Chains A and B, each alone.
Chain A
Amino acid sequence: MSQSGQAIQSSDWETVVGLEVHCELRTQTKLFCGCRNAFGDEPNTNVCPVCLGLPGSLPVLNEQAVEYALRIGAALRCRAQRSLFHRKNYFYPDMPKDYQISQYDVPINIGGWLELPSGKRIGIVRAHMEEDTGKTTHIGGGGRIHQAGHSLVDYNRAGVPLVEIVSEPDMRSADEAREYVEELRAVLVAAGATDGKMEEGSLRVDCNVSVRPQGSTDLGTRCEIKNMNSLRSLARAVAYEAERQIELISNGGRVDQETRHWDEADARTHSMRSKEEAFDYRYFPEPDLVVLDPGPEWVAAVAASQPILPAERRARVAGAAGVPASSEAVATVVRLELDGIIGAAVMANADAALALRRLANEVAGELAEGDKGALDADAFIGLVLMEQQGELTSAQARTVLKVLVAEGGDPKVIAVRLGFEVMAAGALAEVVDQVIAANQREWARYAGGDDKLAGFFIGKIKAATGGNADLRAATQLLQQRRAAQEA
């Protein structure tokens, strides 16, 4: 089915993405020994015979790590089961035993799903436990092991507990892949299992990308992409790889199953190893550990202590504000962990929909990612109340909010400082009557039903008050005067 002669049309193709996310658990100690699990300590200080794989040492499973793995499974709606550890055998200097203890065909969690803010559910194949490797720094040779002059290995990370979450190939774009990782991260953090710090490697993502003609239900040949260090590089790598494959196929080529390396500087993927060169890991059951069977009681206890997850928080916000749970404003507010303010607003009889709009638009825009939660909820709600009661125009409220987010403080004080004198209802009525008296011809037309003239009067009122009028109140007054005249 040659496509030669036709222009390459990306829109004729569908991108298919599945992700493997490695999540470091925030246990006190490592997976199989009592060494401290900490990031950033002096190299090779958190080590012992077990995590260094010294001859004669044996692993003992960390119960807290199992608890976190179960919590992750529960949060991803997986089924927990009696599971096994296997050895994954390959040589690498940062792996002390030259095998990794991992779970293979009988993992602790299987078959769940993660709901994205869009409402789409991404299938979860499994969420299994394994140990992390050490960290190698290759000196010279462009940072690759075979060209390096020498390499330094830090075994502090060796044996740190990981849960690897493998998705179904359910994502259809780079953005969706990114959305999945963002949502997954929020769920893992909510479950208390990880700190979710991508920059410290607490969350590491590999992706499988394939393409297929739009409408096809068969999966194309996939490539696995490694070495993406941020959400941004994930999205870029997926987009690049999909384009590469589309172009390859469109030019009569064929995608080979292989592992590819994302090069951030080059913004391209490079072939690392082909399917033929793939390691034979020689998995077999780890004889130094016994079967891991959490049992129904432990699983039930974890289910009972399940924290509130982002999807439920979105539903709550959506319910309070009367908007769809899939709306972007809801997702933004929950992602920035501002949804508690919506709940507080409802309790304070503030307009939840207005609060949501202000949080999703103005506050989200102002808040830098790292400063979330810095907004004073009471002050914010006070401001929403001022706006909804007509003490401030929406333009004024937005200006006050900007100051509130940047500097904090009392919205009433800020409003005064900005010269947003709140006009008493009586004073406004006086201005309205003066404007009507001064513009009798226009008034007659407005009173006769020509609504276009409302804008004319509002403009006059605005000018007469120096912009300090509550325009909604002014509009109401105009309507009242017209109704009185008709009566």
Chain B
Amino acid sequence: MTSVVEMAAAVRRGELSAVAIIEQHLSRIDQDEADIHAFNLVMADHARARAAEVDGMVARGEDPGALAGVPVALKDLICTRGTPTTCSSRILEGWVPPYDATVVSRLTEAGAVFVGKTNMDEFAMGSSTENSAFGPTRNPRDLSRVPGGSSGGSAAAVAAGFAAIALGSDTGGSIRQPAALCGVVGVKPTYGMVSRYGLVAFASSLDQIGPFATSVADAALALDTISGHDEADSTSLPTDSARARENLGRGVEGLRVGVIAELAGAEGIAPDVAARIREAAEALAASGAKVEETSVPAVRYGLSAYYMIAPAEASSNLARYDGVRYGLRKPGADITEMYMATRSAGFGPEVKRRIMLGTYVLSAGYYDAYYGKSQKVRTLIIRDFEEAYRSFDVLLSPTAPTTAFELGTKTSDPLTMYLSDICTIPSNLAGHPAISVPFGTGDDGLPVGAQVLAPAAGEPVMFQVAEVLEAAAAAKGGGR
């Protein structure tokens, strides 16, 4: 498959038509989407019209931009003006955003062509895309397996060739874990690197939009396109872009890589996954990096803190779905009954579980013990990472503890499901960037992801290392 970098360059030169590209992707969708269910909505007519528009610009001698004609799938919690945005929830039934998310505007300005809105765990709460009100997405590598989640539809869309790039959102691993399980590249940028304006909030202090792609270079181009300061997001960083491509091609000679002991060989990490991460570390060492095991002690408490903070924020963020202004409304005898009927019917069980958990965490008398303490853990994690980054340029760990699991195997046990994010959550709590790169396969022949973690705004070195891992995986023949 052509890379996004080459694809856009060819379109800009007039050597490749955007319409031809989109037809190729739409035919893949026609062929496989019924089995995979990556999308809540395929925007075929819009995509064709938009591709023709891009070709028209090229024909008139105008430059459509860095992603000219590139088919992009959007996770269905990114607002698109005039196109429904459901968050895979019944509660947003009938709602059509009157505005575009900042990332949507930026992709449009760069000449991208939107293919559709991808399936997800309802309101991004889940790790398997089984919590969707519209049915699960299946893993293109093995249809009996989950694609991971919550951005499972986006990961699957890229893995299945439905889109060259997909955007997801990552609150505790929702981009990286499905990327690992589907065998694609997935990036969680530094908090504030990509505007959240138009991203339907799950946990505001943790949410971050990022790209999926089939290569590190493509992911870097996508991230550079969507990142940079946005005055509509107060938490947006004062920077022009993530500069993800800045260090590409430089190799890792002399870089210091720390393998996180608490995550790499910990209990719960499958032996085949742990073996691939050891090999990834060896590959970096063979490429000239200085690789050592290191300790980031506080990451052990990450999962617990996350399941206080994220539900707490979610309980507040999801309060607005009350049936008053938009979306689903179920009648009730008075306002309170209307609220209860609407929210009971509109939210799925996992969303209700987290709203209740978060409401409890913030309650008078419990705040200090739960929310307050979790914020202290967050501070500790940041401190321990800072300590580690005094000795290392990047850190390495598995992305997910196992390869893709079979549908239905974890749905009845939320705690086991929550453990899927044990390696990815610390980066969200710290606000740091991390990337998942496919690195070989497990004993079941399914993809394993290696996670490269970097300090805040450390995207240049993170992509630099990720690119070397990608090359090493390809050389081993165990890559994608």
Q: Which residues of A contact B (CB under 8 A)?
A: 49, 52-61, 87, 89, 91, 93, 96-99, 145-146, 151, 153, 280, 282-284, 287-290
On whether A60 and B231 interact (CB within 8 A), knowing A54-B98, A145-B335, the answer reads yes
| The 10 A-B residue pairs with the shortest CB-CB distance in the complex, in nearest-first order | A98-B319, A282-B362, A287-B205, A287-B204, A55-B200, A56-B198, A56-B79, A93-B324, A56-B200, A280-B364
User: Which residue on chain B has the smallest CB distance to residue A288?
Assistant: B204
- Tell me the complex Cα distance, A469–B85, Å: 89
Residues B79 and A288 in contact, CB atoms below 8 Å apart:
no
Known: A282-B363, A284-B316. Contact between A54 and B322, CB under 8 A?
Answer: no
Q: Which residues of B contact A93 (CB under 8 A)?
A: 322, 324, 335
Picked from B78, B87, B319, the residue with its CB within 8 Å of the CB of A91 is: B319
Which one, B145-153, B232-240, B271-279, is touching chain A? B232-240
Asked if residues B325 and A146 are in contact (CB atoms below 8 Å), the reply is no
Q: Is the Cβ of B95 less than 8 Å from the Cβ of A49?
A: no
Q: Does B196 contact A (CB under 8 A)?
A: yes
Within the complex, the shortest CB–CB distance from A274 to chain B, in Å, comes to 15
Q: Which residues of B contact A287 (CB under 8 A)?
A: 203-205, 235, 313
Task: Please name 5 pairs of A and B residues whose Cβ atoms are closer than 8 Å in the assembled complex, sorted by A.
Answer: A55-B200, A97-B319, A282-B359, A283-B362, A287-B313
Are A146 and B320 in touch, CB under 8 angstroms?
Answer: no
| A52 CA / B327 CA spacing, docked (Å) | 14
Q: Does B392 contact A (CB under 8 A)?
A: no
C-alpha spacing A87/B363, complex, angstroms: 13
User: Residue B166 at the A interface, CB < 8 A?
Assistant: no
**A91 and B316 within 8 A (CB):** no
**CB-based nearest B residue for A279:** B364
**Cβ of B324 and Cβ of A58 under 8 Å apart?**
no
Question: How distant is A144 from chain B, measured CB to nearest CB, in Å?
Answer: 11
Contact between A60 and B234, CB atoms less than 8 A apart: yes
Choose from A89, A91, A153, A290 the contact partner of B235 (Cβ within 8 Å).
Answer: A290
Query: A96 contacts which chain B residues (CB < 8 A)?
Result: 320, 325
Distance in Å from the Cβ of A287 to the closest Cβ of chain B?
A: 4
Q: Judge whether B316 and A49 touch: CB under 8 Å.
A: no
Is B197's CB under 8 angstroms from A56's CB? yes
Interface pair B87/A55, CB less than 8 Å apart? yes
CB–CB A56/B199 < 8 A = yes
B318 nearest in chain A by CB position:
A98
Asked if A98 and B320 sit within 8 Å, CB to CB, the answer is yes
Q: Which of B309-336 contact A (CB under 8 A)?
A: 312-313, 315-316, 319-320, 322, 324-326, 334-336
Q: How far is the CA of A61 from the CA of B234 in the complex (A)?
A: 8
Chain B neighbourhood of A146, CB < 8 A:
334-336
B319 pairs with A99, CB closer than 8 A: yes
Q: How far is the CB of A35 from chain B (nearest CB, A)?
A: 14
The minimal Cβ–Cβ distance linking B368 to chain A, given in whole angstroms, is 11
Closest to B196 in A: A58
Q: Which residues of B contact A58 (CB under 8 A)?
A: 196-197, 232-234
Q: Is B367 close to A, CB under 8 A?
A: yes
Q: Least Cβ distance of B141 to chain A in Å?
A: 31
Look across to chain B and name the residue whose beta carbon is closest to the beta carbon of A87.
Answer: B316
Q: Is B92's CB within 8 Å of the partner chain A?
A: yes
* Contacts A87-B316, A89-B316 given; does A57 touch B197 at CB 8 Å: yes
Bound CA–CA A97/B317 (angstroms): 8
B371 part of interface (Cβ distance < 8 Å):
yes
Q: Report Cα–Cα, A282/B319, bound state, in Å.
A: 12
- 1/0 contact string of B327-353 vs chain A (CB within 8 Å): 000000011100100000000000000
Our pick among B196, B233, B363 for the contact of A280 (Cβ within 8 Å) is: B363
B233 cross-chain contacts in A, Cβ below 8 A = 58, 60
Inter-chain contact A55/B85, CB cutoff 8 Å: yes
Given the known inter-chain contacts A282-B359, A287-B205, A288-B234, please indicate yes or no for A56 contacting B364, CB distance below 8 A. Answer: no
Which residues on A sit within 8 Å (CB–CB) of B324? 93, 153
Tell me how far the C-beta of B228 lies from the nearest C-beta in chain A, rounded to whole angstroms.
16
Closest-by-CB residue of B relative to A52 is: B325
Q: Would you give the shortest CB distance from A150 to chain B, in whole angstroms?
A: 10
Closest Cβ–Cβ distance, residue A258 to chain B (whole Å): 17
Q: Could you say which residues of chain A place their CB within 8 Å of the CB of B231?
A: 60
In the complex the two chains form, what is the Cα distance from A219 to B133 in whole Å? 55
Check if B234 sits within 8 Å of A290, measured CB to CB: yes
Residues of A within 8 A of B97 (CB): 49, 54-56
Instruction: Tell me, rounded to whole Å, the shortest Cβ–Cβ distance linking B238 to chain A.
Output: 11
B472 on interface, CB distance cutoff 8 Å: no
Q: CA separation between A287 and B208, bound complex, in Å?
A: 13
A55 to B334, CA, bound (A): 25
Task: A50 to B22: give the CA distance in the assembly, Å.
Answer: 34
Residues of B within 8 A of A57 (CB): 99, 197-198
User: For B336, what are the chain A residues with a Cβ–Cβ distance below 8 Å?
Assistant: 146
Chain B neighbourhood of A153, CB < 8 A: 324
* B160 beta carbon closer than 8 Å to chain A: no
Q: Which of B192-215 contact A (CB under 8 A)?
A: 196-201, 203-205
| Interchain CA distance A289-B233 in the complex, whole Å | 8
Of residues A93, A96, A151, A287, which shows the largest number of chain B Cβ atoms within 10 Å of its Cβ?
A287
| Interface residue? B180 (CB, 8 A) | no
When distances are taken between beta carbons in the complex, the residues of chain A under 8 Å from B362 are: 89, 282-284
Tell whether B101 is near chain A: CB-to-CB under 8 Å. Answer: yes
Contact B200 A60 (CB under 8 A): no
Contacts of B367 in A (CB 8 A): 282-284
Please give the distance in Å from A134's CB to the nearest CB on chain B.
10
Query: What distance in Å separates the Cβ of B184 from its nearest Cβ neighbour in chain A?
Result: 25
Chain A residues positioned under 8 Å from B204 (CB to CB): 287-288
Q: Which residue of A lies closest to B365 (CB)?
A: A280
B contact residues around A151 at 8 Å (CB): 335
